[in-house]
A and B are shown apart, each in its own frame.
Chain A
Amino acid sequence: MGEVIVITSGKGGVGKTTTTANVGTGLAKLDKKVVLIDTDIGLRNLDVVMGLENRIVYNLVDVIEGNCRIKQALIKDKRYPNLYLLPSAQTRDKTAVTPEQMKKLADELRGEFDYILMDCPAGIEQGFKNAIAGADRALVVTTPEVSAVRDADRIIGLLEANEIKQTYLIVNRLRNDMVKRGDMMSSDDVVEILAVDLIGVVPDDENIVISTNQGEPLVGNESLAGQAYMNICRRILGEEVPFLDLNGKAGLFARLSSLFKK
Chain B
Amino acid sequence: MGFSDFFKKKTSSNVAKDRLKLVLVSDRANCSPEIMEQMKNDIINVISKYVEIDTDGLDIKITQTESEGNNGTVPALFANIPIKDLKAHK
Interface residues of A (CB under 8 A from B): 144-146, 149-150, 153-154, 157, 160, 179, 181-186, 189, 192-193, 195
Partner of B73, one of A146, A192, A195: A195
Task: Name the B residues within 8 Å of A145 (CB-CB).
Answer: 16
Partner of B20, one of A150, A183, A195: A150
Q: Is B49 on the interface with A (CB-CB < 8 A)?
A: no
For the complex, give the distance between the alpha carbons of A154 and B28 in Å: 8
Task: Name the B residues within 8 Å of A195 (CB-CB).
Answer: 64, 73
**A182-B24 contact in complex given A146-B19, A189-B17, A193-B17, C-beta closer than 8 Å:** no
* Of B7-15, B31-39, B54-62, B78-86, the one with at least 4 CB within 8 A of chain A: B7-15
Task: Name the B residues within 8 Å of A160 (CB-CB).
Answer: 72
B27 touches A154 (CB 8 A): yes
Q: How many residues of chain B get a CB closer than 8 Å to chain A's CBs?
A: 16
Question: Would you give the shortest CB distance from A157 to chain B, in whole angstroms?
Answer: 7
B11 touches A193 (CB 8 A): no
Task: Name the A residues within 8 Å of B24 (CB-CB).
Answer: 150, 153, 193
A153 touches B28 (CB 8 A): yes
B73 touches A193 (CB 8 A): no
Task: Name the A residues within 8 Å of B72 (CB-CB).
Answer: 160
For the complex, give the distance between the alpha carbons of A179 and B14 in Å: 11
11 more A-B contacts (CB under 8 A) besides A150-B24, A153-B24, A182-B14? A145-B16, A149-B20, A153-B28, A160-B72, A181-B11, A182-B12, A189-B13, A189-B17, A193-B20, A193-B21, A193-B24
B13 touches A182 (CB 8 A): yes
For the complex, give the distance between the alpha carbons of A184 and B11 in Å: 9
Task: Name the B residues within 8 Å of A186 (CB-CB).
Answer: 13
Question: Would you give the shortest CB distance from B20 to chain A, in whole angstroms?
Answer: 5
Task: Name the B residues within 8 Å of A157 (CB-CB).
Answer: 28
The residue in chain A whose Cβ has the minimal distance to the Cβ of B21 is A193
Q: Is B43 on the interface with A (CB-CB < 8 A)?
A: no
Q: Is B47 on the interface with A (CB-CB < 8 A)?
A: no
Q: Is B23 on the interface with A (CB-CB < 8 A)?
A: yes
The residue in chain B whose Cβ has the minimal distance to the Cβ of A160 is B72
List which B58-78 residues lie within 8 A (CB) of chain A.
64, 72-73
B20 touches A146 (CB 8 A): yes
For the complex, give the distance between the alpha carbons of A149 and B19 in Å: 11
